[in-house]
Structure 1
Amino acid sequence: MVTINVAVLLAVIVLIRLRRRTEARSRFDEKLTVVIVLALGVLLAPTPVGQGIMDILSQLVSGVSQAGL
């Protein structure tokens, strides 16, 4: 349960950071956003929500790759 709560907090932080104007971001600000998103991914990966997202993305990728053939 703790993982989900931290993941929700990180998701909110990411959404707030991504809503800011692109021109107003420094290089450090962009790197910090990337680190936060990576941490969110690590927290979500072992959860059922993370597994569901991975299943959906894998189906999407396989559908796109088959459509390209």
Structure 2
Amino acid sequence: MLTVHVTVLLAAVVVARLCRRTQSRSRNDEKVTVVLVLALGVVLAPTPVGQAIFSAVGELAAGVTRAGQ
């Protein structure tokens, strides 16, 4: 249960950071955003939602690969 709550909090922080204007971002702001997104991925990955996203992206990638052949 705790993992899902941390995931929701991290997702809200990432969305809030990405909604800001791009002109006002410094290089450090961008690095912090990248670290937050990576942390969100690590926290989300072992959850059922994370597994569903992983399988959906895998199927999409396989479909694109088959379409390109």
TM-score of Structure 1 vs Structure 2, range by shorter chain:
over 0.9
Query: What one-letter code is carried by the residue in structure 2 that aligns with 1:17?
Result: R
SS at match of 1:55: helix
Q: Distance in 1 between matches of 2:24 and 2:68?
A: 38
What's the Cα RMSD here? 0.4
Q: Distance in 2 between matches of 1:37 and 1:11?
A: 8
1:36-51 mapped onto 2 (5 Å cutoff): 36-51=36-51
Deviations 1:14-51 (A, max 9, x none): 00000011111000000000000000000000000000
Query: Paired residue for 2:24?
Result: 24
Aligned residues: 69
1:1-69 mapped onto 2 (5 Å cutoff): 1-69=1-69
Q: Distance in 2 between matches of 1:65 and 1:23?
A: 36
Listed as ranges, the gaps of 5+ residues in structure 1 are none
Superposition deviation, residue 54 in structure 1: 0.2
TM-score, reference length from structure 1:
0.98
Q: Distance in 2 between matches of 1:59 and 1:21?
A: 34
Between the aligned residues of both structures, percent identity stands at 61
Listed as ranges, the gaps of 5+ residues in structure 2 are none
TM-score, reference length from structure 2:
0.98
